[in-house]
Every structure is written in structure tokens, then in C-alpha cells.
A and B are shown apart, each in its own frame.
Chain A
């Protein structure tokens, strides 16, 4: 049933299309599912080879760590937390953009989220998996990781619930579970669409199993709509709570540079900042490769860059506040940490790289030209990711390596095992992501179809001089 293209003028405040106007349901279905049915191209296999090799490094790093113990890492006294916690916080932060896009933007009825939410949610799921690996390995004997949970042990001991580290266990496992449920619930109608447009029996059976027999029934949609909205509603405070709790790991301690009340909001802003940057890093090549330019338009990219700009400013404010409070308190340890050690100490290079990437780089997005230029935004997004990694490095390593007593100071240097595991998680993330792009629609097809109908209604009304519909 071909429908006529939008002919009415677009809203002057929103001059670009959210969905290219020449589509109807059937053509959207075809376009958005095409990459699942198509055989993956050379590019996909090449990338998959790269990520698989990186995953191999993870296997090597983890095996070596398990065989020899965590002494093979660069961690020492006093730097007891290093790559393991840096990467944990970095990955969790990246995950947060996914929930933000799918949940918070849904609640604010930001229609532009529809084309990118599936993508971002998948990113969340995989990033949290990578994050979880680090504290697990850091326990030293991950096969006893169940000790972290309250279970009736023969020793009669229970976890100490006043410790932020125990809060972390609950926060991260809840976050992983809820993200997975949210992602899967959103996926069910699209899995049914895959089942019904499948070409072989195997495809039909496999997608049929995962779609649970979804048939788009009105009675099901009736419950589904509210269930999806509620999941978004509970994910919103969840995402804020998760990074708040992660920041408590630091803020509750007495280490100079950690013991500040600005940590929770500043960590959440940093998480969103790095997460959106990661979405840009991944979506720019993916939309080209998957042919999704009609639904992930330049407007989506520009909006995300605006979010990067806003959260970048929040992060810069966080840095300013840290330095201000250190000065205002006149505490000699705080003063040392912020004005001497971080800016001029042994890790000053990382510190200034962090400032360049996190404070200076996002400012280019004040200019429309930079917000809409694909190469500029892609490079900037990578710089933001580097900057946010440096931030976690600075927070953790500078504060621990030089705290109160100069006699117990020590320099930290990562070993090859640290790098193997870190690069390995990038490989794990990339591998999972490529598999996701191959087997599942990267865009929420049913939501885009609904959006397209709404846009047509709205355009129709606009054409008659009335503004806004639904």
C-alpha cells in the first residue's frame, strides 16, 4: 500500500527529516531488515577478524591472570586499584548513553531517539558485560565470585551492607539484567517481523523461537505499550543510581581527590558524555555500512553532538568544582593532589590530555559546521572516549600513588597483561556488536514505522495550518 510522500513544508524549527520521506511500512521493513538477510560483506569479515584477534588477547590475558594470580598486573602498594577499576568505570560509563537514549528520551517524548535506541541499548548491554569482567577478575579468584552475593555460607558470614562495594554488586547486576530485559522487550516485535519475512525454514524457526510467537495482537500491544514505558520509567532512575553508586566507591573513602561530594552528579554527567561519544563512534560507520542513512539522519547526529556539548560542559564544571573545593578547603593533601600532583606530577601528560579531550574538544560543537561534519564529529567522539579514559586514570592512579605519607608513595605502570585485558575487552565489545549488527535489526523497526505514521499525520496537519499532532 504505497502512501504518498510528505509534501507539506517541514517545521521551520526542525528543518531536517527524522525519517526520509519516501518510505512506507513495507519499504521500511525491507530497508531496515536488509542487512540481516544479506550475506555479510568483506568489510564485516575484516572487522570481525580484527575484533576476534583482540578477543584472543583477552583470552591470553585472562588465562595468564588466572594461572599466575593478579600479581602479574601492574597494581602495587599503594596503587591497589588501577586498570581493573579504570576500565570498569569507563565501560559502565559508556553503557549509560544507551539507557539514557532509550529511557530518558522516551519519557521526554524525543522522537529522534527512535532510530538509535536499539543500537544504543545493545551498546549498553555489551559495555556492561565488559565492565563486569574487571571487578570479577580483580577479586583474584573469580571462581569464588558468588561470595559477593548474600548466600547462606557454611561460615555463617553475610556481606557487609554498609560498604559501597557491596552496593556496586547489586547496582551492576541489576543494571545488566534490566538493560537486557528492556532490550529484549523492544526486540520482540522486530524478531516477529524477521520471522515473517524470513526466507528459509531455519531462519523462520530460530526467529520464531526468539519472538515467542508474537503476532502483533492489539491485546498484546495494549499491555506491551505500558510495559515498555514502565521499563523506561524505572531505567531512568536506575541509570543515575548506578553511576552514583560507582562514584560512591571513591567518594566514601578518605583519599585526597576522591573524598568529594560532587562525585555522583559529575560521574553521571561524565558517563553520559562518554556514552554519547561512543554512540557517535559506532553509528557513523555503521549507518553507512548498513545503509541506514534514511532513518539515522544528520539530525540525529547533530542532536547527539548537542548532548555531548552539554554534558562536556557539565564535566568541565565538575573539574572546576573539584579544584575550587580543594582550594577553598585549604586542606594540604587536597591542594597537593589537584594543584601539584595532577597538573605537574608524574602523570601530568595524561592529565593535560584529559583536559584537552574533555574540556576543550566538546567546545567545537558550539559551531553548527562541526556538529554536522561527519569526519570532525567522528574524530571528536574518539577524543572524548580517550579523554574519559584518561579521567578515570587520573582520578584513580594519581590519588593512590601519592596520598598522605610520601614514604609510601609509588609509581604505577601497567604491564602487558593489563593492556591485553583492556584491548581484549574492546575486542569482546566489537565482536558482540558485529554479531548484533548481523543477526538483529540495528534499528527498532516497529517504532520507526509508528514514528513515520505520526510524522505523516503531523505533516498533514501542518499543511492545513494547524501545528503539532499527538
Chain B
């Protein structure tokens, strides 16, 4: 049997979104890496506080749109101009203006698939289990709580980190350990 790899996090709850963003920035300035914030809605300045690079979703969307466009143009041209040419009132077999609606629709469709599946892939969802769920209090993260997680080497003393978080205004601090994601 494969040995279970364990991961630990220090979880800290803050009273307001601003306090959470502030604390995140200060912790990052102190050199903590791999932190994450948890909130019921996107935090203003949250991405900057975590120091995240620009999202890749727009590129995936563009890729989807271009794929859709090329697919639609190639499909219509091959099917109606080469493989199954139909003379409709003497109109040209390659009627590009008539290809426009479907080309647009498929670009939108593929872009939407790109955005949706791109979002899931970048967020590594669906992921029904995550060690942060080990804390019962953490359930407030999706309703009214503002949480910060700081990775912690399993088995090492976390008191220092916990004290720092408390001094930054955390209302409660816990340590969770669970299977590595």
C-alpha cells in the first residue's frame, strides 16, 4: 500500500475582508509562500495580496474561440463546397457570408467550453475533499467567514506561525492535517 502523504495548514479566521487582505499581504511580505485566502465572495485586492500572476482563463477562451471559428469554417466549406455541393439558385458553392452565423455560434460555443473547463482545470475542481474541510469552523468560509491558510511542514511546531497570525488580528487559529491534494 502506498504511504499516505500528509499536508498541514494553519488556518486563521479574520473578522472582515479588509483585515484578511491586510494580513495576507503582511504574511507574504514576511516571506510565507503558498498561502491561500478563503471568502464567500472575491476579495478586493485579494489576488494582489496573494501575488497571483494574471489568470490564464482569457487565453484558454481565445483558444476556444479560434478553434470554434476554424472548425466551423472548415466544416461548412468542406461539406457544402466539396463533399456535397448543392446548387441553390446558382449561388456560389463557397458562400462565405452565409457561413458567418454558424461560424460565430461555434466560436462562442467553443469559447464557453474553454472558459468553463479551463476554470475547472486551473482550479483543480471538482475536488470534493480538501484538508481545509477537516476544520468544522472552516465551513463559514463559504457563508460569512474570511480565512487564510498558511502551509506548514507536517509534524513541525506551528506555534510561531499561529502567534504571528493572532498578532495580525486573527479571531481564531487552528492547525489542520490531511491527505496531500
Considering only CB atoms and an 8 Å cut-off, how many residues of chain B contact the other chain?
Answer: 67
How far apart are the CA atoms of A238 and B111 in the complex, in Å? 12
A170: chain B residues within 8 A (beta carbon): 101-102, 105-106
B180: chain A residues within 8 A (beta carbon): none
How far apart are the CA atoms of A177 and B57 in the complex, in Å? 19
B36 touches A219 (CB 8 A): yes
A245 contacts the other chain (Cβ, under 8 Å)?
yes
B102 touches A193 (CB 8 A): no
B142 touches A162 (CB 8 A): no
A285 contacts the other chain (Cβ, under 8 Å)?
no
Interface stretch (choices B119-127, B152-160, B161-169): B119-127
B128 touches A230 (CB 8 A): no
Partner of A158, one of B24, B47, B84: B84
Partner of A193, one of B38, B79, B95, B142: B142
B120 touches A212 (CB 8 A): yes
B80: chain A residues within 8 A (beta carbon): 158, 160-162
How far apart are the CA atoms of A319 and B26 in the complex, in Å? 63
How far apart are the CA atoms of A166 and B99 in the complex, in Å? 11
Given contacts A221-B43, A450-B41, whether A196 and B57 have CB atoms under 8 Å apart is no
A182: chain B residues within 8 A (beta carbon): 112
Looking at chain A's contact residues, is the secondary structure mostly helix, strand, loop, or mixed?
Answer: helix
A216 touches B38 (CB 8 A): yes
Q: Which of B29-51 contact A (CB under 8 A)?
A: 36-44, 46-47, 49-50
A245 touches B101 (CB 8 A): yes
Given contacts A25-B144, A150-B79, whether A217 and B15 have CB atoms under 8 Å apart is no
Partner of A447, one of B41, B102, B108: B41
Partner of B115, one of A209, A221, A227, A238: A227
Given contacts A161-B76, A218-B50, A223-B119, whether A213 and B142 have CB atoms under 8 Å apart is no
Q: Which of A82-133 contact B (CB under 8 A)?
A: none
Considering only CB atoms and an 8 Å cut-off, how many residues of chain A contact the other chain?
Answer: 65
CB-based nearest B residue for A451? B41
Partner of B41, one of A162, A189, A230, A231: A189
A212 touches B83 (CB 8 A): no
A223 touches B55 (CB 8 A): yes
A167 contacts the other chain (Cβ, under 8 Å)?
yes
CB-based nearest B residue for A245? B101
A150: chain B residues within 8 A (beta carbon): 75, 79
Looking at chain B's contact residues, is the secondary structure mostly helix, strand, loop, or mixed?
Answer: helix
B119 touches A219 (CB 8 A): no
CB-based nearest B residue for A227? B119
Q: Which of A211-247 contact B (CB under 8 A)?
A: 212-227, 230-231, 234, 237-238, 241, 245
Given contacts A189-B41, A223-B123, A230-B58, whether A177 and B112 have CB atoms under 8 Å apart is yes
B109 contacts the other chain (Cβ, under 8 Å)?
yes
A420 to chain B, nearest CB (A): 32
A156: chain B residues within 8 A (beta carbon): 83-84
B110 to chain A, nearest CB (A): 10
Partner of A160, one of B38, B49, B88, B139: B88
Q: Which of A406-448 contact B (CB under 8 A)?
A: 445-447
Partner of A29, one of B39, B105, B127, B144: B144
Given contacts A174-B108, A197-B143, whether A446 and B119 have CB atoms under 8 Å apart is no
B61 contacts the other chain (Cβ, under 8 Å)?
yes
Interface residues, chain B, with chain A CB atoms under 8 Å away? 15-17, 24, 36-44, 46-47, 49-50, 52, 55-58, 61, 65, 75-76, 79-80, 83-84, 86, 88, 91, 95, 98-99, 101-102, 104-106, 108-109, 111-113, 115-116, 118-120, 122-123, 125-130, 132-133, 139-144
Interface residues, chain A, with chain B CB atoms under 8 Å away? 1, 3, 24-26, 29, 150, 156-162, 164, 166-167, 170-171, 174, 177-178, 181-182, 184-185, 189, 192-193, 195-197, 208-209, 212-227, 230-231, 234, 237-238, 241, 245, 248, 445-447, 449-450, 453, 470
